[in-house]
C-alpha cells in the first residue's frame, strides 16, 4: 500500500484500460516494481517558477527584434538551458512574459517623461511626416504621423497618433498635443516637414495652424531633401516623358560630356570625402559610388552593382540611382536614341549639379548660400540643357524657404561665405529701421528668378534677420567683430555648434514612418502599449545602433 501511494504521488501511473487484459498487465508490471526503484522516481509535480530574470535590456531587445511572446518563451527556455540555469526556478511562460514586457514598456516611458526636463534642452525643432496604415481596431486606413523633436544632436519620439485623416487641422492638433504632453510648447522654435499643401497651405496648412495654437510664429525649415527631390522629379519627368522630341544631334553628345571634364577632379574629391563620412542610408552611399564609376574611377571598396531597389514617388533618389545604372549598362538594353539621350542628360544633371546639393543638404549653416548657388548653377545650365534648366527653376521659384531674411541668418555660420560678404550681411541687417511683417516664403515668377544670378546672400538680409538670434537665444555681440576673428570667439563657436545641430532635413521623421510601418501590426494591438512600444524601440535603436560587442556591452 505504501509503495502504491508513492507511485501515485510520483505520477508514474497511467490511466487504466477498460479491458481486463490491460488491467492484468498493468497490475503485473506494478507488482514487478521494486520499492527501491519507486523511491528513486522523481517527483514530476513542479512548483511555479518565482525568479524573474527578464531585465529591462532583455525586454527592450525582444521588442527591437520583433520577438512575439510565444517565440520569446522558446528562446528564453533554450538560452536558460544552454547557460546551465535551473529552469524550474524561472518565470518562463507566455502570460508572464507578456505581462513583464507590457509593464516594462509602460514604466520605461513614464520614467523617461518624468526625467525629461524641457528647461535643459533649450530650443528645438519639431518634425512630422504622415503615412496611411491599417487601423489597430478597425478595418480601415488611418494616418499615422510620427512626431519627433530634435535638439543638440538628440532625437526624441513624442508619439505616433492615429488620425482619421491627414488634414492640416488634424496634423496641427496632433503635433500641438504631443508638444503639450511633453511640456515642449515653449521650446519649439522651428518646424521641419515636407512642403505638401496639407502642411504649408496658406490658410489651412498644418504649419500656420500650429502657429495659431502656439500663439506665436515659428521658423519654417522645410525638408531640404524633399525640395531637391521635387527638382529631380521635374527633370526626370521632362526627359522621360518627352518622347515626341526630335533626336539630339551627335555633335551635342560630345559637347555635353565635355561639360563634365573640367569638374571631374572636383567631383571625385567631393564623392570620396563624402564616402568617408557616415551616410544614414545605403542608397546614399550607392549614389556616390555610381558617380565615381561614371567619372571613370574606382570607388574605395571596388566596383559593385546592386540589384535595383523599389522605385516610387516617395523616394526619388532611387530614380537617380536607377537612371545611372541603366546608362552605364545602356549597351545591354534595347534603348532607342531618344531614351539613350534622356538618360544621358539626366545623369549629367545629377552628377554635375545635383549630387553636391543633395549631400550638403543636411548642413543647416550651408542652406541659404547653397540654395542661392544652386539657382545660379541651374541658370547657367541652360547652355547645356534648356529643358532641365527651366523645369528646375520653375520648381525652385516656389521653394525659396531658406532665402527669407530670418533663414539667411544661418549663413553667418557658414565658413564658405567670405568675410567681405558677412560684413555686408551685418550692415544689411542693421541698416533698416522699419520692421515689417516677416515673410515665411519668397514666391517668384519663373522670369523673375533670373535676377538671382547677380545677387549675393547679403541681398536677402533685413532687420527680421535678428529674429533668428532671439529665437535660438544666440548672443549677437560677435557681429561687432571682424568676421575673420569669429572662429576664435567662444561665443561664436558655441553658437555655431548650436546651428550645426539644427535639423533641416526630415530624415528622422521618415525613419519614424518606417518604425510604425514595421511595428504597426506586431506585438500588441493596445493603443497605449503601441505608443510605449514605438518609443522603447526608438530609444533602444539610438543606444545600440549596431550589433557590435562593444556597442551591446553598454549599459541600458
Q: What is the pLDDT of residues 529-538, one digit of tens each?
A: 999 999 999 9
**Whether the predicted pLDDT of 295 surpasses 50:** yes
Count CB atoms within 10 A of the CB of residue 448.
Answer: 11
In the structure grid, which three cell numbers stand for residue 314, read together? 516617395
Distance of CA 472 to the CA centre of its chain: 24
pLDDT at 31: 45
**Whether the predicted pLDDT of 446 surpasses 60:** yes
CA angle 491, 496, 501 (to 5 degrees): 135
DSSP string, 87-110: GGGB--SHHHHHHHHHHHHHHHHH
Reported as a pLDDT band with limits 50, 70 and 90, residue 364 is very high
Strand pairing class (124-128; 188-192): parallel
pLDDT at 239: 83
Using alpha carbons, list the distances in angstroms from residue 351 to 111, 264, 294. 49, 10, 9
Reported as a pLDDT band with limits 50, 70 and 90, residue 11 is very low
In the structure grid, which three cell numbers stand for residue 450, read together? 533670373
**Arithmetic mean of pLDDT, 72-84:** 91
Report the phi/psi class of residue 122: left, alpha or beta, with left for phi > 0 and alpha for psi in -120 to 50.
left
Provide the CATH topology of domain 119-223+506-522: Nucleotidyltransferase; domain 5 (3.30.420)
In the structure grid, which three cell numbers stand for residue 130, read together? 504622415
> Which is it for the CA torsion 435, 440, 445, 448, positive or negative?
positive
Count CB atoms within 10 A of the CB of residue 239.
Answer: 23
How would you write 327-345 as a 3-class SS string? HHCHHHCCCCHHHHHHHHH
**Arithmetic mean of pLDDT, 429-450:** 73
pLDDT tens digit sequence for 301-358: 888 777 766 665 556 677 788 888 888 888 777 778 888 888 888 989 999 999 999 9
Which residues does 373 contact at the CB level (< 8 Å), separation at least 6? none
pLDDT tens digit sequence for 422-432: 999 998 888 75
Reported as a pLDDT band with limits 50, 70 and 90, residue 438 is low
Specify whether the CB–CB gap between 351 and 291 falls below 8 A. Answer: yes
Map residue 167 onto helix, strand or coil: coil
CATH 3.30.420 in the chain is located at 119-223+506-522
Instruction: Give per-residue burial for 259-291: e unless 16+ CB within 10 Å, then b.
Output: ebeeeeeebeebbeebbeeeeeeeebbbbbbbb
d(CA 309, CA 398): 30
Specify whether the CB–CB gap between 512 and 146 falls below 8 A. Answer: yes
Reported as a pLDDT band with limits 50, 70 and 90, residue 5 is very low
Strand pairing class (132-134; 219-220): unpaired
Reported as a pLDDT band with limits 50, 70 and 90, residue 519 is very high
What is the DSSP-derived secondary structure letter of residue 15?
Answer: P
Using alpha carbons, list the distances in angstroms from residue 406 to 101, 429, 442. 47, 10, 12
Q: Tell me the backbone φ, ψ of residue 118, rounded to 5 degrees.
A: -60, -30
pLDDT at 250: 34
pLDDT at 312: 58
Report the phi/psi class of residue 165: left, alpha or beta, with left for phi > 0 and alpha for psi in -120 to 50.
beta
**Whether the predicted pLDDT of 286 surpasses 70:** yes
d(CA 415, CA 408): 14
Residue of 378, 405, 308, 365 whose CA lies nearest to 503: 365
DSSP string, 214-247: HTS--EE---HHHHHHHHHHHHHHHHHT-TTSPP
Percent of the chain exceeding pLDDT 90 equals 47
d(CA 28, CA 18): 16
**Whether the predicted pLDDT of 298 surpasses 80:** yes
Task: Return the higher-pLDDT residue of 280 and 412.
Answer: 412
Reported as a pLDDT band with limits 50, 70 and 90, residue 260 is low
d(CA 323, CA 541): 33
Map residue 162 onto helix, strand or coil: coil
Specify whether the CB–CB gap between 535 and 113 falls below 8 A. Answer: no
pLDDT at 311: 61
pLDDT tens digit sequence for 25-38: 344 444 444 444 44
**Whether the predicted pLDDT of 399 surpasses 60:** yes
d(CA 40, CA 29): 17
Task: Return the higher-pLDDT residue of 48 and 18.
Answer: 48
**Global confidence as pTM:** 0.81
pLDDT at 319: 79
Reported as a pLDDT band with limits 50, 70 and 90, residue 498 is very high
pLDDT at 1: 43
pLDDT at 13: 34
**Arithmetic mean of pLDDT, 443-462:** 87
d(CA 492, CA 498): 10
**Whether the predicted pLDDT of 243 surpasses 90:** no
Specify whether the CB–CB gap between 52 and 100 falls below 8 A. Answer: yes
pLDDT at 324: 85
What is the DSSP-derived secondary structure letter of residue 126?
Answer: E
pLDDT at 179: 95
Angle, nearest 10°, between helix axes 527-543 and 507-519? 130
Amino acid at each position: 500500500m505504501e509503495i502504491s501511494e508513492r507511485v501515485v504521488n510520483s505520477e508514474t501511473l497511467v490511466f487504466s484500460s477498460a479491458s481486463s487484459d490491460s488491467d492484468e498487465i498493468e497490475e503485473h508490471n506494478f507488482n514487478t516494481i521494486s520499492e527501491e526503484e519507486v523511491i528513486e522516481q522523481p517527483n514530476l509535480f513542479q512548483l511555479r517558477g518565482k525568479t524573474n530574470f527578464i531585465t529591462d535590456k532583455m525586454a527592450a531587445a525582444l521588442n527591437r527584434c520583433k520577438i512575439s511572446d510565444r517565440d520569446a518563451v522558446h528562446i528564453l527556455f533554450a538560452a536558460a538551458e544552454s547557460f546551465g540555469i535551473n529552469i524550474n526556478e524561472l518565470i518562463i511562460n507566455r502570460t508572464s512574459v507578456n505581462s513583464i514586457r507590457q509593464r516594462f514598456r509602460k514604466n520605461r516611458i513614464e520614467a523617461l517623461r518624468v526625467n525629461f526636463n524641457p528647461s535643459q534642452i533649450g530650443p528645438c525643432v519639431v518634425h512630422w511626416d504622415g503615412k496611411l496604415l491599417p487601423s489597430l481596431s478597425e478595418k480601415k486606413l488611418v494616418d499615422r504621423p510620427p512626431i519627433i523633436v530634435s535638439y543638440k544632436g538628440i532625437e526624441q519620439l513624442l508619439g505616433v497618433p492615429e488620425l482619421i485623416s491627414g488634414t492640416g487641422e488634424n496634423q496641427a492638433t496632433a503635433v500641438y498635443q504631443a508638444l503639450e504632453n511633453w511640456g515642449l510648447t515653449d521650446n519649439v522654435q522651428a518646424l521641419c516637414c515636407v512642403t505638401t499643401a496639407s502642411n504649408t497651405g496658406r490658410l489651412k496648412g498644418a504649419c500656420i495652424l500650429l502657429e495659431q495654437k502656439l500663439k506665436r510664429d515659428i521658423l519654417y525649415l522645410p525638408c531640404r531633401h524633399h525640395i531637391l527631390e521635387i527638382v529631380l522629379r521635374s527633370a526626370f519627368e521632362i526627359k522621360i516623358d518627352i518622347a515626341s522630341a526630335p533626336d539630339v544631334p551627335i555633335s551635342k553628345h560630345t559637347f555635353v560630356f565635355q561639360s563634365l571634364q573640367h569638374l571631374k577632379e572636383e567631383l571625385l574629391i567631393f564623392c570620396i570625402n563624402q564616402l568617408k563620412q557616415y551616410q544614414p542610408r545605403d542608397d546614399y552611399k550607392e549614389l556616390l559610388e555610381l558617380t565615381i564609376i561614371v567619372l571613370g574611377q574606382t570607388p574605395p571598396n571596388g566596383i559593385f552593382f546592386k540589384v535595383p531597389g523599389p522605385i516610387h514617388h516617395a523616394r526619388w533618389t532611387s530614380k537617380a540611382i536607377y537612371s545611372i545604372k541603366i546608362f552605364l549598362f545602356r549597351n545591354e538594353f534595347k534603348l532607342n536614341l531618344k531614351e539613350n539621350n534622356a538618360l544621358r542628360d539626366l545623369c549629367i544633371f545629377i552628377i554635375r549639379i545635383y549630387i553636391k546639393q543633395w549631400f550638403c543638404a543636411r548642413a543647416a549653416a550651408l542652406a541659404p548660400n547653397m540654395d542661392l548657388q544652386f539657382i545660379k548653377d541651374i541658370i547657367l545650365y541652360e547652355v547645356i540643357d534648356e529643358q532641365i534648366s527651366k523645369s528646375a527653376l520653375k520648381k525652385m521659384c516656389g521653394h525659396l524657404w531658406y532665402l527669407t531674411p530670418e533663414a539667411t541668418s544661418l549663413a553667418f555660420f557658414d565658413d564658405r561665405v567670405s568675410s567681405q560678404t558677412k560684413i555686408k550681411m551685418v550692415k544689411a541687417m542693421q541698416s533698416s529701421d522699419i520692421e515689417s511683417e516677416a515673410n515665411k516664403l519668397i514666391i517668384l515668377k519663373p522670369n523673375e528668378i533670373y535676377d538671382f544670378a547677380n545677387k549675393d546672400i547679403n541681398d536677402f538680409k533685413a532687420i527680421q534677420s535678428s529674429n533668428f538670434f532671439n529665437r535660438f537665444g544666440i548672443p549677437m555681440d560677435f557681429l561687432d567683430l571682424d568676421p575673420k576673428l569669429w572662429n576664435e570667439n567662444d561665443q561664436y563657436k558655441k553658437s555655431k555648434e548650436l546651428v550645426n545641430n539644427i535639423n533641416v532635413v526630415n530624415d528622422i521623421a521618415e525613419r519614424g514612418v518606417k518604425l510604425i510601418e514595421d511595428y504597426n501590426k506586431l506585438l500588441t494591438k493596445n493603443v497605449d502599449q503601441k505608443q510605449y512600444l514605438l518609443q522603447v524601440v526608438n530609444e533602444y535603436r539610438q543606444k545600440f545602433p549596431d550589433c557590435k560587442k562593444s556597442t551591446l556591452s553598454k549599459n541600458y
